[in-house]
Amino acid sequence: MRDEQAMARAIELASSARSHAPPNPWVGCVVVGAAGGVFEGATSAPGGPHAEVVALSAAGEMAQGATLYSTLEPCAHTGRTPPCVSAIICAGVSRVVIGTEDPDELVAGRGIAALREAGLEVMVGMCHTEVEEQLAAYLKHRRTHRPWVVLKLAASLDGRLAAPDGTSKWITGPEARKDAAMIRSVSDAILVGAGTVRADDPALTVRLADGCRQPLRVVLGHVPENAKVKPAVEMTGELDTVLDQLGSMGVVQLMVEGGSHVAHSFHSAGLVDRYVLYLAPAFFGGDDGVPMFAGKGADSISELWRARVVSMVRLGDDLRIELSPGPRQDACTVARGAPEPVQEDVSCCAADIRGAILTDHAARWSCQPPTAKAVGLWEGLSSPG
């Protein structure tokens, strides 16, 4: 198995851990034995074994002299589980290929250094772009201590979230609504404004299947006494402070669901990392409906905000468009730290993983049994491990 193929498989495995791994990173691992045997693992729920340990346990004695592929740098500290680097070294692995370094302050290159000090060959950066895209929420949280912000909007083709009388159920069809619920299921918190709570009285729960973990519910402003969203965290103040507070609570991904004033506030402040638009083939046919963004926009075409299209998917009669701020990047980067130059191209990661954070439906949207993270209001969830 070529390095590129093994890392592509590790990325696929990591997708299966997306819904239950946070606040830990969702990691995939492949161990290729000297005799050609292939053994796989993905991150367990918090407190369970990490991807590397799962794969090494499957390999057993076949790990001796093997190459281990991990999407993220193995940890070198003791959290809720022992350090993965110790398991790798003790298993007799001779070579480790890593997708990207872990910016967590408890790791941050220490895992790579420990492996090299033990005499293992280490290559860093295989399919780096795809791995960073897949782990974008985790990486941002560890680098900035703020959550990855996903803004979800469901609108008509003329850009209206609701009719002039405030009614909006339902602009989009059941397929689009189910997809949005799937994004909820992998988000650690959902945020709406108090105006949305008063107007729609949403529960903001995940209703895909029994056992889905429920995200923390956050309301900007005061929650009415009998609102369905309770229990919820009420927050006020500057959005920067809100994000700092949520990040300190262990919220890795925050889904912002509205309304239009809240959407404008996050967008105009440049705080959105990923936009997910559900567009219905329908028109309100006027300018008096509720717009996507309620507030001041660009004064001229030169100030028009432009994005990179990550994906476009048809869902029933509707269209989902996923957007990312910033310029387009190459599909795959050249590995760093290899003893010899590695020739990579767009096919280096055979599966198309660029949109893995929100588009790998088959693996990512499966509900997992609730973990300690779904209990209470996240007590102790910011600790790594």
User: Residues 68-123: pLDDT tens digits?
Assistant: 999 999 998 877 788 899 999 999 999 999 999 999 888 888 899 999 999 999 99
| pLDDT beyond 90 at 241 | yes
Return the minimum-mean-pLDDT range out of 121-135, 144-158, 321-335: 321-335
CA max distance for the chain? 69
CB-based contact 106:25 (threshold 8 Å) = no
Work out the average pLDDT over 345-357.
40
pLDDT of residue 166: 82
User: pTM score, two decimals?
Assistant: 0.81
For residue 140, CA distances in Å to 143, 146, 273 come to 5, 7, 10
**Is 52 among the residues known to form the active site?**
yes
pLDDT of residue 89: 94
Tens of pLDDT, residues 307-340: 999 999 999 999 999 999 975 444 333 343 433 3
Taking all residues of the chain, what is their mean pLDDT, rounded to a whole number?
A: 83
pLDDT of residue 22: 86
pLDDT of residue 197: 87
Residue 8, both tokens? 């592509």
For residue 195, CA distances in Å to 156, 198, 260, 320, 341 come to 21, 5, 10, 25, 56
Candidate list 4, 52, 130, 344, residue with the active-site label:
52
